Amino acid sequence: MEYKKRIIITGGAGFIGSHVVRRFVNNYPMYHIINLDKLTYAGNLANLKDIEDKPNYTFVKADICDFPKIMELMKTYQVDGIIHLAAESHVDRSIKDPFTFAQTNVLGTLSLLQAAKNYWESLSERYEGKRFYHISTDEVYGALDFDDTLFTESTKYDPHSPYSASKASSDHFVRAFHDTYGMPTIVTNCSNNYGPYQFPEKLIPLFINNIRHRKPLPVYGKGENVRDWLFVEDHARAIDTIFHHGKVAETYNIGGFNEWKNIDIIKVLIKTTDRLLGRPEGADDDLITFVTDRKGHDLRYAIDSTKLKKELGWEPSLQFEEGIEKTVQWYLDNQEWMDNVTSGDYQKYYEEMYQNR
Ligand code: NAD
Ligand code: TYD
């Protein structure tokens, strides 16, 4: 079949990437979707079980830092779009091991950009009909005080953690490839995501699983830090809209207008999980355990996504209460997924499913 577009989605076996891959594979049978993922600890092909046999889907195990391999894939699949989500994504890991973050997030992004440039510039139509869409985070803008106004697209970059510093650097490289070579790039900066298939090192899935197993809930500092939460499928829908209708060289902020103090979210998680498990209200309140704060813990993130609403008509579809209910229910219904992740068994999935094909 002659596909209308051939798109590499990097990091498609991760949390947000798997929702983006699923959406594109299901909604666009006329596109060939190539999921390029190294399958680090955060990559789990079981996240995509429901679409892995679709004819317009191909999985390739590769490292974005492997420049010759990326060049080869660009040519083999005649790629005209890249949606780049592959990254090291956990702040606590970046504090322990910043080198890996610089390697993957900065050099990996540069390797993709350079491969796209070399391939697209070798074609007669060059950059016409091409798109390099880079997914970034609101954390590049730094931290807000409680009374500061929200991050907009013109807020100055001021990253504090090795994670946000590496993402900020990658964003600059993407924009530099537009400004220097004319590559049609787009960058979006999104707030904290939650929903199914998130690796249980992040607050929401970790805490749901701990509540289920009556394990302590380690709250950093006083639990007063604020995050702006967006349901992951809303992010995937924003990515779809922006990939198709966003203006080249633009930046769009994506957020939920949904700020919560950590401690308040944690109380909602306990209440919802206990109710869905049929436990009496308040049964697990004593799991809350205040622990030493994260180093350099950013106080508050909050995104103003007015531009995206005004220009492209996107806005969040789910109320937070509804999203949290769906999310808790999903983790309770998918205990096998969670057990495979926490035991490490998920890493065998690739060997079994793909090695012998
Ligand atoms: P994740 O950690 O769940 O998934 C990352 C994926 O990238 C994994 O499948 C992993 O195997 C893959 N990967 C890592 N290194 C790779 C490499 N060198 N080559 C190829 N693949 C590699 O991350 P996520 O939470 O889904 O985040 C996806 C993107 O969205 C990241 O760029 C992140 O910075 C950004 N983002 C995340 C959030 C959030 O709340 N999770 C918010 C805003 C932006
Ligand atoms: P996290 O999910 O790691 O996302 P990010 O650091 O990118 O915002 O953490 C969300 C918030 O929850 C953040 O303020 C740190 C806090 N947190 C805890 O209090 N305890 C935990 O065990 C974790 C993982 C996070």
pLDDT at 318: 92
- Residues 255 and 97: their CA atoms lie apart, in Å, by 28
Structure confidence at residue 355 (pLDDT): 66
DSSP state of 352: I
Q: How far apart are the first and last CA of the chain?
A: 21
Q: Among 164, 220, 235, 263, which residue has the most ligand 2 atoms within 8 Å of its CB, making it the best to mutate?
A: 220
Ligand 2 site, residue 218, Cβ cutoff 6 A = yes
Dist. CA 106 → ligand 1 center (Å): 13
Per-residue model confidence (pLDDT) at position 356: 60
Q: Is the pLDDT of residue 188 over 90?
A: yes
Q: What is the structure's pLDDT at 1? A: 77
Quote the pLDDT of residue 33: 98
User: Tell me, what's the pLDDT at 130?
Assistant: 98
Q: Is the pLDDT of residue 344 over 90?
A: no
**Per-residue pLDDT, 105:** 98
State the pairing for strand pair 259-261/226-231.
antiparallel
User: Which residue minimizes the CA distance to atom 4 of ligand 1?
Assistant: 14
| Local confidence band at 38 (pLDDT 50, 70, 90 cut-offs) | very high
Please state, in angstroms and rounded to a whole number, the distance separating the CA atoms of residues 169 and 194: 25
CA separation for the pair 121, 111 (Å, rounded): 15
Q: Tens of pLDDT along 289-325?
A: 999 999 999 999 999 999 999 999 999 999 999 999 9
Quote the distance between the C-alpha of residue 154 and its chain's center. Answer: 22
Let me know: does 94 contact 19? Beta carbons within 8 Å.
no
Residue type, 172: H
Indicate which residue's Cα is closest to atom 5 of ligand 2.
91
H/E run at residue 8:
strand 5-10
Residue 83 in this model has a pLDDT that exceeds 70: yes
Return the ligand 1 atom nearest residue 84 CA: 32
pLDDT attached to residue 274 = 98
The whole-angstrom separation of Cα 46 and Cα 336 is: 11
Summarised one tens digit per residue, pLDDT across range 166-175 is 999 999 999 9
Confidence of residue 120 (pLDDT cuts 50, 70, 90): very high
Q: What's the whole-number average pLDDT of the chain?
A: 97
d(CA 44, CA 349): 8
Catalytic residues: 138-139, 163
Angle between helices 320-333 and 203-212 (to 10 degrees): 50
pLDDT-derived band of residue 264, with 50, 70 and 90 as boundaries?
Answer: very high
Confidence of residue 350 (pLDDT cuts 50, 70, 90): confident
d(CA 131, CA 42): 26
Q: pTM of the full predicted structure?
A: 0.98
Backbone angles phi, psi at 266, to 5 degrees: -60, -40
DSSP tally for the chain: helices H, then strands E: 13, 12
Q: How far is CA 172 from CA 109, 151, 242, 255, in A?
A: 10, 17, 19, 21
Residues with CB under 6 A from ligand 1: 10-11, 13-17, 37-40, 42-43, 63-65, 85-87, 89, 104, 108, 135, 137, 167, 190, 192-193, 199
Domain spans, the chain:
5-192+229-257+296-319
The pLDDT value recorded for residue 345 is: 85
As a whole number, mean pLDDT of residues 211-232 equals 98
Give mean pLDDT, residues 142-158.
Answer: 97
Assigned CATH for 5-192+229-257+296-319: 3.40.50.720
